[in-house]
Amino acid sequence: MSDRTASYEGVLDAARQIAPAAVRTPLIESPALNARVGGRVLLKAETLQVSGAFKFRGAYNRISRLSAAERASGVVAYSSGNHAQGVAAAARMMGARALIVMPSDSPAIKIEGVKALGGEVRLYDRWTESREEIGAEVARERGSVLVPPFDDPYVIEGQGTTALELLDQADGPIDQLICCCSGGGLMAGINLVLEARSPQTKSWAVEPEAYDDTARSLAAGERTGHPAGPPSICDALQTPMPGVLTFPINRRILSGALSISDNEAAGAVAYAFRVLKLVVEPGGAAALAAVLADKIETRDRTTAVILSGGNIDPGLFAEIIEGRFEAAPRQGAAA
Amino acid sequence: MSDRTASYEGVLDAARQIAPAAVRTPLIESPALNARVGGRVLLKAETLQVSGAFKFRGAYNRISRLSAAERASGVVAYSSGNHAQGVAAAARMMGARALIVMPSDSPAIKIEGVKALGGEVRLYDRWTESREEIGAEVARERGSVLVPPFDDPYVIEGQGTTALELLDQADGPIDQLICCCSGGGLMAGINLVLEARSPQTKSWAVEPEAYDDTARSLAAGERTGHPAGPPSICDALQTPMPGVLTFPINRRILSGALSISDNEAAGAVAYAFRVLKLVVEPGGAAALAAVLADKIETRDRTTAVILSGGNIDPGLFAEIIEGRFEAAPRQGAAA
């Protein structure tokens, strides 16, 4: 973690840094979705980013700034999967080894994705081990640089490039922007851009209902965790607490936080398949779920929605699109 | 069918006509796909078009030119599903009733899609009845205007707008363009644009191997059918013979025709799910299948690929992405 504060200027610099490697993802509008909500919805499809999620932006922005000596010692990261793949992809482009510490219950497609990108995987138990400690230990042992999933200025600024593109691609003002929020890196990067470029746009964070630490933290005025709960279908959004660097930014700029159930997330995944023709993972569909489940007023407004990732196991995707998915505490749930 | 010849100028006019209603679909590039083929692949995602396929372009271009009296008598169309939905969507926007004659073995998602768009559905047996006769009969009975799936200048010109957008969106020259081909309306519209705007781009048609009437017709120098065969997983590409208006255009401009198996189409659908994060139906993935199955040289070239539609039943999609699909003659297959 760096002491430097993430800034809008840093996001502009990140945009130049990642331009040769990242995908400028399309901003998609669906007349069917507009008709359903009675307003305009602009979908930023980060599902189409390198490695299937926005995470590549921050990972590349961080790793591409390492010195030759640092690259030679490799990088290490802990992640439920999307950051893992982003780091593995960026490290490979930079010729650096990557070791990724992943929960043993990560979706198989994400673990395989890291390996396919040349990353080394170390699994850990999400319920009994601390990924931060394991990551720090490996970093010490190997002399590798730790690439944090959100609490790093370069990572936050890399994620913020999503909003730079979005504002450039939109053909008019945006009333509100809705984005999933876990550690808050994407949300914070986006918020820095909105504050500087589109302060009239209200921004909202979306969390799984059992992982509502951002809502609790906003209410408390300080970083606060959530009670231990069962795993969520939104595997990418299960961080215990907002970040040290991300929360002050999000607290300053967010209009508030919304929460969605696993069934609402699954409903959004199914809608994206059936109507939008996009593959979105449950956590990546959280913001869309908030819109479809009427968690926020969209009528006669222009609403930007971030589709943050599309890495979902075929088995779960099949369950959801065939209507066989039922949200329930799953095997391995902690108390 | 009109005697007027479809033209590049007609495509330009169609672009103005459909602009208020159609989606300008994104041109998508995937670094993972580029790495796999050793060249650049630009994917035109007509899966994201209104009603999930390019067909809306031609249908809207035709129906929006009807007189008030013609609109009052409604429209009729025959289609395996994507044209059906395009016509239903365009007719609803114009306030016209739409009756669609569809094969009884059409994917349920396409039949339901037509009904959801307010269309009336009449099912027929693909193997014993003539859709052309049924369509003409209904048109006579009701005084409705028949909107042909491909043999109409306005329809061909509407589909051609796909290529206008593609050339505007691409950041450099395109060496070759690959597109699925059934009746040949999309292929012909695209070819008119390439001929006028990018004559150095070679264009290739792709057909299911048992429905290779365009390849046979190119070889024979005249419109030729294919032997009766089993149904293909590419339900959208099962036309018996190239069109009267489309074939002369395609014969003049095409570099040739490629064919793919049902397993290759299914492989492309699975790849689009896993890597591209796009929902593509088998027929819509035919051009991608030709690239992935090395039916054409892509190394060190820029290849445009049309993803023509994304309307696939959840059950079949689940089978394919879970690796349970096996191509075989299916129930209801004719001799």
Percent of chain B with pLDDT over 70: 97
Nearest to B147 by CA among B239, B74, B86, B59: B59
Picking from B31, B314, B321, the nearest residue to A50 by CB comes out as B31
User: What is the distance in angstroms between the CA of the first residue and the CA of the last residue of chain B?
Assistant: 31
CB contact under 8 A, A23 and B32: no
- Given this model, what pLDDT does residue A328 score? 67
Looking at the predicted structure, is the pLDDT value of residue B332 above 80? no
Task: Report the catalytic residues of A.
Answer: 55, 308
- Is the CB of residue A111 less than 8 Å away from at least one CB of chain B? no
Nearest to B312 by CA among B292, B276, B333, B283: B283
Picking from B31, B32, B321, the nearest residue to A314 by CB comes out as B321
Residue pair B191/B249 in contact by the 8 Å Cβ criterion: yes
For the complex shown, is ipTM > 0.85?
A: yes
Per-residue pLDDT of chain A (335 residues; tens, 9 = 90+): 556 899 999 999 999 999 999 999 999 999 999 999 999 999 999 999 999 999 999 999 999 999 999 999 999 998 878 999 999 999 999 999 999 999 898 889 889 989 999 999 999 998 888 888 888 888 888 899 999 999 999 999 999 999 999 999 999 999 999 999 999 999 999 999 999 999 999 999 999 999 999 999 999 999 999 998 888 999 999 888 999 999 999 999 999 999 999 999 999 999 999 999 999 999 999 999 999 999 999 999 999 999 999 999 999 999 999 999 988 654 444 43
For an interface test with A, the pick among B41, B277, B313, B316 (most A C-beta atoms closer than 10 Å) comes out as B277
- Given this model, what pLDDT does residue A142 score? 87
Q: Of the listed B55, B80, B182, B232, which one is catalytic?
A: B55
Band of residue B335 on the pLDDT scale cut at 50, 70, 90: very low
* Residue in A with minimal Cα distance to B320: A314
Looking at the predicted structure, is the pLDDT value of residue B331 above 50? no
Could you confirm whether B79 is annotated as catalytic? no
- Given this model, what pLDDT does residue B263 score? 97
Provide the pairing of β-strand A120-124 with A98-103. Answer: parallel
H/E stretch holding A146: strand A145-146
Q: Which residues of B touch A318 (CB under 8 A)?
A: 314, 317-318, 321-322
Q: Within the 22-81 window of chain B, which residues sit less than 8 Å (CB to CB) from chain A?
A: 23, 26, 28-32, 47-48, 50, 52
- How far apart, in whole angstroms, are the C-alpha atoms of residue A108 and residue A88? 16
Q: How far is the alpha carbon of B34 from chain A, nearest alpha carbon, in Å?
A: 12
CB contact under 8 A, A23 and B29: yes
CB contact under 8 A, A26 and B28: yes
Counted across chains A and B, CB pairs separated by less than 8 A come out at 70
Looking at the predicted structure, is the pLDDT value of residue B253 above 60? yes
Q: Which residues of A touch B31 (CB under 8 A)?
A: 21, 23, 50
CB contact under 8 A, A48 and B276: yes
* Residue in B with minimal Cα distance to A280: B277
Band of residue B328 on the pLDDT scale cut at 50, 70, 90: low
- The residue with greater pLDDT, B266 or B143, is B266
Q: Please classify residue A140 by burial: count the beta carbons closer than 10 Å to its beta carbon, then call 0-12 exposed, 13-18 middle and 19+ buried.
A: exposed
Looking at every residue in chain B, the average pLDDT score rounds to 94
* Residue in A with minimal Cα distance to B277: A279
- Given this model, what pLDDT does residue B3 score? 67
Q: Residue B40: CB partners within 8 Å, gap ≥ 6? A: B29, B34, B301, B302, B303
Picking from A273, A278, A314, the nearest residue to B322 by CB comes out as A314
Distance of CA B234 to the CA centre of its chain: 11
- Given this model, what pLDDT does residue A3 score? 67
Could you confirm whether B55 is annotated as catalytic? yes
- Per residue in B201-234, pLDDT (tens digit) is 999 999 999 999 999 999 999 999 999 888 899 9
- Given this model, what pLDDT does residue B4 score? 86
- Given this model, what pLDDT does residue B218 score? 97
- Given this model, what pLDDT does residue A52 score? 97
pLDDT average, residue stretch B189-197? 98
Task: Tell me the CA distances in angstroms from A13 to A9, A69, A98, B136, one per residue in order.
Answer: 6, 23, 24, 62
Maximum Cα–Cα distance for chain A, whole Å? 56
